Structure 1
Amino acid sequence: MRLLGRLLMILLVAALAACGGGRQGGGRAVMAGQGTGPQFGDSRPHAWIGGHPYDHPVHGIDISRYQGNIDWSTVRRSGVSFAFIKATEGGDHADPNFMTYWQQAGMARIPRGAYHFFYFCRSGAEQASWFISHVPRERGAMPPVIDLEWTPSKTCPRRPPADEVLAQAKIFKDILHQYYGQRPIIYTTVDFYRDNNLASWPEEFWLRSVAGHPRITYPGQPYSFWQYTGTGLVPGVQGNVDLNVFAGSPQQWRMWLNRRLQ
């Protein structure tokens, strides 16, 4: 009987794995709304605390050169509504795939914006100049993004005090605002947000939270975008990709775009 019980348990586990384990994890999880909504998955799905990203109707991706060749038409058909594309880092690094992705996403009619990974070993003004030299000022583009998180780079391990962080980041975003005509979006992580009191900034936020809903990890913080996984699966993209949601309805998304893509 014990052998039979073990056999039944093995069969049950196999059946759960085959169906993706639902929303709790265990394999490739296909999003709710398949056939009419986004056709995404996750290579490492798990249970969510405080709310599930799949309950949001507007989804997008953020990418860098590590995604390789992308079939943008397939990406669009899968339900991707926007894309943030890495352009620059610090004051001397540019993503070699940025312009290719930028042009191809535009041809596929996917709203896209460029982002900059901020370093703390160069001034905000120097980094703004570097970003501007690589990202076109283009009618119809989404606002630029400044990625604020502690850098893992061995060449720039600095963790300056919060007042210096905010001062240099403000210089960067003010220059971009003046040049592109749109206030930059602030992307950040939980530890950086807390360490530098970003709650004091009256800016538009894109928040990373890969275990719980932002209302849990960033209590009281308004946001427009939520990055909810780094192990997403999207038709047209090879391997894992970051997945995001817009914090609103499809109607609110169209209003958001209309305000920014003039």
Structure 2
Amino acid sequence: MRICKRLLSVLMACSFISTSAALSASDVFAENNISCNIYDTTIDSESKEAVSSLSQEALIDDNVGAAELTETPYNVFDIYNAHQTYVKLHSGDKSLMYKKAEGIDVSYAQGQIDWKAVKDSGVDFAIIRAGFGNADKYPYQVDTWFKYNIEEAQKVGMDVGVYWYSYATDAQGAYDEAVSCYNVIKDYDLQYPVYFDIEDPSQKHLSTYETSVLIETFCSEIRSRGYYAGLYSYANLLTTKVYKEVLDKYDIWVAHYGVNVPSYSKEYGMWQYSSTGSISGIDHAVDLDHCYINYPYIISPDTYEPDGTETDSVADLRPVNIDKGVASGVDVSVWQGKIDWEKMKASGIDYAMIRAGYGNLSTQTDKYFKANVEGAEKAGMDFGAYWYSYASSPEDAVLEAKACLEVIKGHKFAYPIYYCIEDQCFASMSSKEISDIIKAFCSELEKNGYYVGVKSYANFLNTRVDDGVFADYDVWVSHYGVAKPDFSKNYNMWQYTNDGTINGLNGSFNLDYAYLNFPEIMKNNHLNGF
């Protein structure tokens, strides 16, 4: 998690307003010199709503009655870290943390359920609706079948969690819903989280800021009362209307039907993949869920009994959700030999990264650079270039930059020029030495009107390059056999395999995804020869 604890504690303070000294979220943000926009992860193409200009006083009533604000705000990370330490002490390792389980979620809509038949059919768990809205004020808003469902499910040994359907449009409403939910579920032990279900049409007009305040208010209150809190909604809302820092704090249950993988790129523990399931013991259609996190173990590690299906990694359990970016590419050099660029273009490849050369002499041009550039140009394929480094010092890197400039002049590159730092010659250098070499090369090309970046494998970038480099230049990261490269900083190109195949062409290829519309950037800003 990239944001510091203090910053997140400030966000959490939005939900903990004292009756004796009411403090608005606006005041809390202002007091810490933090813009309310800092957490905004709204995707403009999917949600045009701006962060609300309403003061938090309009969202939170002075008489919420939540836990009093202390001088040091309540910090969930201390609790989370303590819990993780507890889990490790009781498990010795992470071998029980993940497990594939199949479940259902039910409400009054399913009527009377034969829970023994459900259990016998192979269902592992059930998430049961406890109620909706402010049930303390309106008792009829407790789900009419909740008591029956949870007690009968537990009688047959079914693991259960609950969800509370929200109609809240302000933090007061979300707090009231959390208290109502607690009062309904407090006499029951749960093996799965308590989920805040936010999906009602009445909430669609809320901004990212307002939506996040609702979630934070409900979930933090439920958590403070000793329950494991989670968030449920459909993929689009989770992607466009919730701050990343809120998503990172609570377990996610994502709904997306009719797809192989939910269109939600962040971490999630459960996926509601169908609303039309048929299960023995239930007369009506029922929602079906895949779960990937071993909640019964995490919630009650002392009493959990392993069954041998647990694992220490979620990678093999959850369907892979790969972000393929905006363009698919290939990178080539002399090692690929002569390439049929017309077939390359016809195969669906959008762009090519072509090795221009290596070392500090312009005579060290890649043997196939000229042929590859001409072939790509003739086929109408966009391309960029990279220079393989052997530099031993910043001065040597400047010589490499000048050699690169000599080789690439006269061509238009719709994609960046990357400095490839992968050779064994860098193994004995310090991070500062390597970073100074990168800066020397990149700044020289930048002065000459080129969009530049650094290319290397993920572990090298993580451990051997100073963060300042990533703030100044683009990154092309190499990491194979994963759903996402293990690199936490920003990158705009990913080399995801060195063993790819391309229709109509023999041999294996390095394949890439690009995450920016580089051709538009180069043309609009008159870079790289444009």
CA distance in 1, matches of 2:391, 2:428: 7
In structure 2, the partner of 1:103 is 374
Deviations 1:212-262 (A, max 9, x none): 244x5012x2211111000001134320000001126xxx56644544574
Does residue 72 in structure 1 map to residue 72 in structure 2? no
Partner SS for 2:350: strand
Correspondence 1:145 to 2:421: no
Task: State whether structure 2 residue 380 is matched by structure 1 residue 112.
Answer: no
CA distance in 2, matches of 1:79, 1:163: 40
Q: Per-residue deviation at 1:117? A: 0.8
In the alignment, what sits opposite 1:16?
none
Whose RCO is larger (CA < 8 A, sep 6+)? 1
Any idea what the Cα deviations from partners look like across 1:176-211, whole Å, max 9, x if unmatched? 1122x1231221212211222343321211111112
Structure 1 segment 186-205 matched on structure 2, within 5 A: 186-201=454-469, 202=471, 203-205=473-475
Task: Indicate the SS of the match to 2:408.
Answer: coil
The residue aligned with 1:210 is 480
* In structure 2, C-alpha distance between the alignment counterparts of 1:48 and 1:60, rounded to whole Å: 29
Conserved? CA contact 1:70–1:238, under 8 Å: no
**Distance of aligned partners of 1:144 and 1:100 in 2 relative to their CA distance in 1, 3 Å threshold:** same
Task: Give SS of 1:84's match.
Answer: strand
Cα distance change of structure 1 residues 141 and 254 upon mapping to structure 2, 3 Å threshold:
closer
Structure 1 counterpart of 2:511: 243
Aligned AA (2:347): S
Q: Do the aligned residues in 2 keep the contact of 1:60 with 1:245 (CA within 8 Å)?
A: yes
How far apart in 2 are the matches of 1:124 and 1:143?
A: 18
What is the correspondence of 1:2-41 to structure 2 with a 5 Å cutoff? none
Structure 1 position 137, deviation (Å): 3.8
- 2:492 maps to which residue? 224
Over 3 Å counting, the alpha-carbon distance change for 1:246 and 1:143 in structure 2 is closer
Alpha-carbon distance change, 126 to 57 in structure 1, aligned in 2, over 3 angstroms: closer
What is the rounded CA distance, in whole Å, between the counterparts of 1:114 and 1:258 in structure 2?
Answer: 16
Within-5 A mapping of 1:44-63: 51-53=320-322, 55-56=324-325, 58-63=327-332
Equivalent position SS for 1:80: coil
Distance 1:138 1:164, change over 3 A: same
Count of residues in Structure 1 that have an aligned counterpart in Structure 2: 209
What CA deviation, in whole Å up to 9, does each residue of 1:31-71 have, x standing for no partner?
A: xxxxxxxxxxxxxxx97989544754521100011111211
Q: What TM-score, normalized by structure 2, do the two folds share?
A: 0.36
Q: How does 1:99-178 map to 2 (within 5 A)?
A: 99-121=370-392, 123-149=396-422, 151-152=423-424, 156=425, 159-178=428-447
Give the Cα separation in 2 of the matches to 1:135 and 1:200. Answer: 27
Aligned 8 A contact 2:479 2:486 in 1:
yes
Q: What is the alpha-carbon distance in structure 1 between the residues aligned to residue 323 and residue 463 of structure 2?
A: 29
1:176 maps to amino acid: L
CA contact (8 A) 1:50 1:212 kept: no
Q: Tell me if the contact between 2:474 and 2:491 (Cα under 8 Å) persists in the aligned partners.
A: yes
| SS state at 1:188 partner | strand
Question: Contact 2:415–2:519 at 8 Å: present in 1 too?
Answer: no
Letter of the structure 1 residue corresponding to residue 502 of structure 2: V
Cα distance 1:126–1:232, how it changes in 2: closer, same or farther (>3 A)? same
Give me the CA root mean square deviation: 2.9
CA distance in 2, matches of 1:170, 1:242: 26
- Contact persistence 2:382–2:414 (CA under 8 A): yes
Whole-angstrom distance in 2 between the partners of 1:50 and 1:218: 21
| Deviation at residue 87 of structure 1 after TM alignment | 1.2
Tell me, in whole angstroms, the C-alpha distance in 2 between the residues paired with 1:191 and 1:49.
24
Whose Rg is larger? 2
Structure 1 gap segments, 5+ residues each = 1-45
The residue identity in structure 2 corresponding to 1:187 is K
**Structure 2 segments unaligned to the other structure (5+ residues):** 1-314
Q: Is the 8 A contact 1:50 1:213 kept in 2?
A: no
Deviates more, 1:169-178 or 1:90-99: 90-99
Looking at structure 2, the residues matched to 48 and 57 of structure 1 have their Cα atoms a distance apart, in angstroms, of 27
In structure 2, the partner of 1:30 is none
Alignment check: 8 A CA contact 1:58 1:253 kept:
no
